[in-house]
Structures are given as structure tokens and as C-alpha cells.
Structure 1
Amino acid sequence: MNRISIIGAGIGGLTAALALHDVGAHVTVYEQAKHLTDEGAGIQIAPNASRILCHLGLRHVLAADAVAASTSAYRHYRTGAVLKINDPSESVRRTGFPYWRIHRADLQRALVSALARRAPDALHLGWQVLAVETGSDNVSLVFSNGQRVTSDLVVAADGIRSTVRSMLFARDTPHFEGYVAWRGLVPMADLPERLRTMGGASFGGGRFIVNYAVRRGELMNFVAIARHETWEEEGWRIPSRLAELQEAFTDFHDDVQELIGHTPPDRLFKWGIFGRPRLPSWVQGRASLLGDAAHPMLPYLAQGGAMAIEDAMLLARAVANGDGHVSALQRWETARMPRVNRVSDASAAMAAMFHTDVDAYDPSRDVSAGRLPDLATFDALTAPI
């Protein structure tokens, strides 16, 4: 049986643990946080990712907490005029799988529960990795608690500030991409009726805001992004003053102003958007990066989490092939890298589109549809590896 250690209990790490367990691997997940808390905001799960989560047995539990995506609109930031209608039903119809919008903590909780049912002792909290030692026959992890663990494979899914990435590859550091984001959660009951069904994005003047319902429709989630020259604060859960966000979006249309104005002070946070240089390889011997640790991307296609979920499923399929651990990682990387790079490039193109002159916006040139027709319909269960 393959012994696989996974670093990080985020969306990618937990999905990888489930997928690898289901193909017969003995998996252990090591998370440096001592507690998994109800943090974060919304995440969109297009059919390319929901297909995988359904395959892993999570359809019903996620459907109970998620909100099925419905028609939404791009709007002009000042006037509120509709520039384009987005309808996710076509990808749902083509694939047979849902397009969900869900609170990140609800998704993480479902993944943790599923792993606990399959492998009750697999998740270890409060384990901080200090070193990764790769060998020809195995790979060892050294932890801050003095423990040493030996595995056949190590998968590092420890996020954009991955410590394992720095251990395995050049010590590149995350670089500020020139954008600051705010995220807020507004109780739906506090909003007037006309705003409860308002979903979509407004953009222009170098800024962008997207909103949609999560947690069974009980919360309205929004993310607002603006250009910013510098950023020095650490973390993605930095409290923000409401007046700061209102000032940044002061010339947006009335619906946006009213939504922002209803944000509870304790549910508004900000963070700088960071990237890392594109690596020529995510694999070193018997260790590999996964998700944001390998390929962070801008959030404009809402596909960062989906790429980590796809990573996890294709990795499990490569390992299940049984032609050797190192070969499995190499075949997985070869299969994944072209698609991940295309999605990353398209996300960057979307950022450029949203942060340039809105009056020049041409729906027919929208890169989300034009460059990636298989964005939401990609099938990680059957794609060649």
C-alpha cells in the first residue's frame, strides 16, 4: 500500500486525501494550524470541480449547504447598466453536474467529515513541517514537535506561502500583484428584497466587485478588488474599516453602495493578492506541490480552488496506475501543467479586462468563454494521464 503524506488541510489537500484513499493509498494529512475555524468566504465550484466532489461521495452534503448558481450579470460600475448576462446552466446541462456557490468553511467541513469516515486517524492538526528529505526509496518529513515521518510520497498543498515549496525549489517569495481585495459576508435577512437576488459583478475605473449567495442562501458573499501600488501587511484575514472600502468604491452604483453598507464590521476583511513565479516543475523526486503551492493564480475566473481539486483527482489516478511513485508524479505533472497554465493565463487576461476601460468592454471578446471553451466541462475522471 502506498504511504502518502499530505501537507495542508485546505481544499486541495483534503480532496487529495480522499481521492488517494479511494484508490487504496494510506494517507495522512498534516496541518500546522491547531484548529480548523469557520473562516473564509465564498468559493465557486463549477462543474469541472463539482464532478470530482460528487464522485467522492459529497453531492448531497454539499448540495445541502451550497447555493446553485443562477443567471447573473456584468454591470457598468457607475450606471449599473447590464453589459453581459452569464448563464451557468449550459455547462450544467452538458456535464450533468452542479455549479455551486458555497462558503469555503462549509466545503472544508464536508471534506474533513468525509475523510474522518474513511480514515478516522488521517488528519493531524498542529503539525508544522520543518524539513523535507527526499531519497531514492522514500521521503522523510521532520516536524516542529520532534517527530519524523517516512512516506512513499509527499504532496505539499500548503498554499501560496508554501514552506515546502521553499524547501524543494528555489527560495522565490510571493510577489504583490498590484491588487488589494476585500471580502465581506452580509446576513441575507438584513438586505432589502431587491438585493437578495442581485448576483454578478460590477467593474470599471480599475475596480471590480462580485457577489453571490452562500450558506443555504443565508449570507451574501462579496469580494471587491482594486488596484494598489504597494502592500506590506501579512495575512488574508486583516480586519478592514467599512469606511475604507466605501471610499475605494464611492462612485459605484447604488446597489453596490447599499450592499457594502450592510456589511457587519466583524465580517469585513482585506488582503493583498500575491503570486509566485511559474515553476518549470512541481515535482522533486518523491515529493510534489499541489494547488496554490504549485500554481497560484489571480481569482478572476473563480478557478483557483477548482484547479486544486482537479490536481487531486488526476494525481490519485496517476498513483492508481501502479507504475512507480516517481513515474506517477511525472505523468501527473505532464498531464496537468498545460491546462493549469492556460487557466492561469486566462485569469490574468480577465484581470486586465476588468481593470481597464469598462466603456471599451466587448462581450464577444470575453476571455472566459473565448479562450477556454472547456473551462467548466473538463473531465478529470477521464482525461488522459
Structure 2
Amino acid sequence: MTVIDTNLITTTAELAALCERLGHEEFVTVDTEFMREKTYYPELCLVQLAGEEDVAVVDAQAKGIDLAPLGALLAKPDVVKVFHACRQDVEIFLLRFGAVPENLFDTQVAAMVAGFGDQVGYDALVSALTGGHIDKAHRFSDWSARPLTKAQVDYAAADVTHLRAVYEKLTARLRVDGRLDWVAQEMAALADPASYRVEPERAWERLKLRTNNRRQLAIVQAIAAWREREAQRVNIPRQRLVRDEQVPEIAALAPDNAEALAKVRGITAGFAQGKSGQSLLAAIAAAKAISDEQLPRSERQRDTARASPALVALLKVLLNAVAEQNNVAPRLVASSEDVEALALDETAENPALQGWRREMFGEDALRLIRGEIALSAQGKKVKIVSVQE
């Protein structure tokens, strides 16, 4: 493979010419560098692209540059867009262009299918498949600072350069194993724009709560939803607005004025009296006004039925056994939530009972639940044995 020197793209004309060439490639490797420490939304700084010969770093913050040609390239369905651990990159492009890149391929997901373990790191994958080495010297660079140094540009370009060989070797391996279709099924979820939308009303679910008080839970939900919307509005990280641990503290206090809000640890009088503080107090007041009949129930109150812990443990042994046998990451086959749901109700819709997962694990899981098979330790392996009536 002939490789030209890294090209730093700083104008729309240069970007358009690059994307025109890459638009004729079978696949293009893609990566981004961004900053998010001080903002809610990621601040796109660089986009790295590589094809058969081109290796380029696009300065997304160059004066006057229009990234529309990049958006057109990402929308081409006949060019595979190869990423590693693509979720944050895809989120950036969805925000910028209003659409998820067409024809995605994530080498981290593909590596899980190929037996490299859960969420294998890029450095480890490059080393395992190509023998290459990733220089980490500029991993924590401020990518928004200008001018960029040659070392920074070379570091950024190295990710997409190695990614070409990783993609080719992974796809060859998966083709031999007959698992390319498995990867395609996984990519369908990553290609769904809904996967990247943050619903403020569900923001409370990421919090660790210890209350069964329905009124307090309603206030927690209101505060979490307010925080998400307010962080978006002012474009700062949600934790800089109100920290996770402060949410239940505010809910427990349920303040109705700025003076009371300022008594919460870490909440200043200036914040409480300002626009954000006043809108927070309004959200709390609305939650306090909810009728008793409309109050939410905690997960512990809703989930009265519980799966047998012993059955869950047995299913997890089966999961690990079949994953080991097929050389695939267990978490890709079924999550802990999938296993617990299966143990609770094997007739309910479950990802573990769909597609290749059902063939590899789901059918045996159902048979185990029905008592048709058992698990046995033979040597240093767990084996599946039929149960004779």
C-alpha cells in the first residue's frame, strides 16, 4: 500500500477534493478529536480520514472551512465508514450533519465478535492484529488550541492509518468464521439515531437512588430533567451545573425559595438567585404539585417479581460456556439484564432470543430453563449434557 504524507486540510476546497477522492474508495477510516471538558456538546476539533492512499487531518476549526463535503462523504451508502468505538464520533456527526454516517463498521464491536474480549482497546487491537504501536504522547492534548504542531497532526493521523489494516484483518477473519452478518446486525443499532438522543425525562435513571418515597422520587425526576435541559441550554457539562450527589439532596430538602436552595452543599447563593436557580425552583414546585395518584413508583416498588438468583447464576454459567466455546465476548451475546429478564420470563421479548444470539445461546438457555439440559464440569471445561426423562 502506498501512503502519502499526512495532509492537513484547512480549506473547503481542499476538503472537497479529498472527499471526492475518498468517495470512490471501498472503505474510509474515520476518527475525531474533540473537547468536552467545559461544554455539554462536544466541540469538534479535528476529523481524521484515510483511504487507500490518502491520509488527511481536517482542521474543523479552521477559519471559513465548510464541512459540508465531509457530510456528503459520510452519507454515501456505498463507502464503508470504519471507526473504532464509534459512539462519540457518530454523536458528533449526528449533531453536525443531522444524520448518522451511512454504512458503519465499528472495529471494537467486530473485535468482540471475533473473540478479542469485551470492549478491547484500540492500542491492544492494533498490537494484536498488526504488531503496530500507538504513540500516546498527545492523548491529552488540547485539540482546540492553535496552531497545531506537526507531532499533534501525526499523532491524530496514526489512528486512521493503523485502522485500515485492523479493518482488513478483522473482516478477513470474520469472513472465514462466517460472522460478518453478526457484525452487520450490531451495526444496525449503532446506525439508529435514537441511540444517541438524550431524553431529559429519563435522565434520572443514571442516578443511584436509595429512596422509595414517591414524592421525593418525583422531585428527583424533575431535577434530573431540568438539569439535562439547562445543561443543554447553557452548553456546560451537567456535573458542572449540579453534581449527581446533589440531586437527591436537593430533592430531600425540596426547597421553595433561593435561600433554602442555597443551603444545599455546593449550591451558592448566586446560583440559587440566578436564572438557573429560579428555573430549578420552578421545576421542584411543579413536582411538588403532582397529585398523589400521578406520583411515580420506584423500580423496587414496580418490580415485585424477582428472578431466582440461582437460575440467573446458572444461565450466566451457560452464557460464559457457550461464549468460550465460540470465542466471542459474553457481554455481546447477552447482558446481565438480558439474562435476568430471561430467568424471570422466557416468553417475553429479549435480545438474547433474537438472530445469532438465539442460535448461540438463547435456545440452550430455554432448554436449561425447561430442564432439558444440564451443565457439567468435564476436565477444565463446562459442558452441556442432555437430561434423560
TM-score normalised by structure 2 residue count: 0.22
> Quick check: which one's strand share is greater?
1
> Quick check: which one's helix share is greater?
2
Structure number with larger C-alpha Rg:
2
Relative contact order: is structure 1 or structure 2 higher (C-alpha 8 Å, sep ≥ 6)? 1
TM-score normalised by structure 1 residue count: 0.23
